């Protein structure tokens, strides 16, 4: 019986690894769909490389930074060793009560690691140098993400404080969102986005692909949140899947309604981001919420999306896919919601959540600025105006994503 339970838990975790992995395809399709055809290969290349970089850096250094054991001072930073010190059979009996193998835990966490840089990819699309983005992603995924992750999931000071983040509204999504915010601020807007004091819409070239991407992300989120139960416990897993799905639906619904009331249009792209906002919002407390709580969190997330996108535009910050609105703003909301709704709701918990958000936000903003500002001085952040106008696919990769179609974009 014990061996059967171990096998079941481990099998569920491996399924969740596959589900989280497929989310990278979802991010890729969403990003290319909401941007212009002339930059398709560039965006796909970045998303492929983020997975590659994430896996390798997490193996070399990230896992040991995130889970240093007892070898850290003050719960702020620690390090075990380079590479992976895995037991011969991949299992330690005391590792999360022996419910799954060390190998499985590593791969599940490695899939999470690449997500933070993927979030940044969409925000900086269509004007960042490829080399600059890859260097930034390597440092951000290899160092910044695991250090922040250790503060809670590795037993660091936020865990001791009582900060709660079940699957990463802050520890994954806001980490990527803060990096995206600093990046688009330093990069500046795309040519033509803000003309003569007016906000111009630069439409994506393939909304069907963006829609497919969101459905893949919604599908993958069952593994993202479901796997964070860290077992195949029927009650806990079922609850998490239900709250996750309901929050996504509620986010899409409220985004559709709010967008229509505000702009008198049925904007599909806003609905898609509303779904994602609901998913990000529920991620911090998916295991602590009931049905009504999950729906309320999703409803608020969808409303937030509509207004956050408008505010970011008014601040003259250019985010082609709404990454900051979805992952940062809804990530903050979802983290605060743990102290407002569900089993942990209390003023003290809300305070702990706010402290965690501020600590992680300050660290991510500071490190992102240092990395990107250094890269700006050393190699530059943006491609040239000519490269941007003609498209990054030709200039960075020497090919078109759609060679049989005549390109007519400016």
Residue 3, number of CB atoms within 10 A of its CB: 7
Structure confidence at residue 277 (pLDDT): 97
Residue 206 pLDDT > 90: yes
- Segment 328-355, tens digit of pLDDT: 999 999 999 999 999 999 999 999 999 9
Residue 322 pLDDT > 60: yes
Structure confidence at residue 93 (pLDDT): 45
User: Could you tell me the sign of the dihedral formed by the alpha carbons of 361, 367, 370, 371, in that order?
Assistant: negative
Structure confidence at residue 144 (pLDDT): 95
Torsions phi, psi of 72, nearest 5? Answer: -140, 155
Structure confidence at residue 73 (pLDDT): 66
More confident residue, 6 or 346: 346
Residue 92 pLDDT > 90: no
Task: Output the six-digit token pair for 304.
Answer: 């937030």
* pTM (predicted TM-score): 0.93
Residue 91, number of CB atoms within 10 A of its CB: 16
Structure confidence at residue 100 (pLDDT): 83
Q: Are 303 and 258 in contact (CB under 8 A)?
A: yes
- Segment 46-62, tens digit of pLDDT: 999 999 999 999 999 99
Read off the pLDDT of each residue in 210-232 and give the average, rounded to a whole number: 95
Share of the chain above pLDDT 90, in %: 75
Lowest mean pLDDT among 191-195, 207-211, 286-290: 191-195
Which residue segments constitute the domains of the chain, with CATH numbers given?
2-397 (1.10.3430.10)
Residue 86 pLDDT > 70: no
Read off the pLDDT of each residue in 168-192 and give the average, rounded to a whole number: 94
Residue 177 pLDDT > 60: yes
- Is 385 in a helix, a strand, or coil? helix
Residue 98 pLDDT > 80: no
Q: Are strands 194-195 and 198-199 parallel, antiparallel or unpaired?
A: antiparallel
- Where does the pLDDT of residue 90 fall: very low under 50, low under 70, confident under 90, or very high at 90 and above? low
Residue 77 Cα distances to 154, 156, 356, 360, 373, angstroms: 10, 8, 15, 13, 24
Residue 402 pLDDT > 90: no
Residue 325 pLDDT > 90: yes
Residue 406 pLDDT > 60: no
- Where does the pLDDT of residue 79 fall: very low under 50, low under 70, confident under 90, or very high at 90 and above? confident
Burial 27-57 (b: 16+ CB within 10 A, else e): bbbbbbbbbbbbbbbbbbbbbebbbebbbeb
Residue 316 pLDDT > 70: yes
Read off the pLDDT of each residue in 212-235 and give the average, rounded to a whole number: 94
């Amino acid at each position: 019986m014990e061996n059967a339970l171990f096998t079941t838990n481990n099998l569920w975790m491996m399924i969740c690894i596959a589900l989280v992995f497929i989310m990278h395809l979802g991010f890729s399709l969403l990003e290319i769909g909401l941007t212009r055809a002339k930059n398709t290969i560039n965006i796909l290349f970045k998303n492929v490389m983020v997975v590659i970089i994430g896996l390798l850096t997490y193996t070399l250094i990230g896992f040991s930074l995130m889970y240093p054991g007892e070898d850290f001072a003050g719960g702020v930073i620690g390090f075990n060793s380079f590479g992976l010190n895995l037991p011969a059979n991949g299992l330690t009996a005391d590792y999360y009560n022996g419910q799954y193998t060390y190998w499985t835990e590593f791969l599940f966490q490695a899939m999470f690691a690449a997500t933070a840089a993927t979030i940044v990819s969409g925000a900086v699309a269509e004007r960042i140098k490829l080399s600059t983005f890859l260097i930034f992603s390597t440092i951000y995924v290899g160092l910044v993400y695991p250090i922040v992750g250790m503060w809670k999931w590795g037993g660091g000071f936020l865990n001791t404080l009582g900060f709660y983040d079940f699957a990463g509204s802050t520890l994954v999504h806001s980490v990527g969102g803060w990096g995206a915010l600093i990046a688009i601020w330093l990069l500046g807007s795309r040519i033509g986005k803000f003309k003569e004091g007016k906000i111009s819409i630069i439409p994506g070239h393939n909304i069907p692909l963006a829609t497919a991407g969101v459905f893949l992300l919604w599908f993958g989120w069952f593994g993202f949140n479901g796997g964070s139960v860290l077992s195949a416990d029927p009650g806990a897993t079922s609850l998490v899947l239900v709250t996750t799905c309901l929050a996504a639906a509620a986010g899409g619904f409220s985004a559709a309604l709010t967008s229509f009331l505000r702009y008198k249009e049925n904007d599909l792209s806003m609905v898609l981001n509303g779904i994602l906002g609901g998913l990000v919002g529920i991620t911090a407390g998916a295991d602590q919420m009931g049905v009504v709580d999950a729906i309320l969190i999703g409803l608020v997330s969808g409303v937030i999306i509509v207004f956050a996108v408008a505010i970011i535009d008014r601040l003259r910050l250019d985010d082609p896919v709404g990454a900051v609105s979805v992952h940062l703003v809804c990530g903050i909301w979802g983290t605060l919601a743990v102290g407002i709704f569900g089993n942990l709701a209390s003023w003290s918990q809300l305070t702990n959540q706010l402290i965690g958000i501020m600590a992680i936000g300050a660290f991510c903003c500071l490190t992102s600025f240092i990395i990107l500002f250094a890269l700006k001085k050393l190699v530059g952040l943006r491609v040239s105006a000519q490269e941007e106008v003609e498209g990054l696919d030709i200039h960075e990769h020497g090919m078109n994503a759609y060679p049989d179609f005549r390109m007519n974009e400016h």
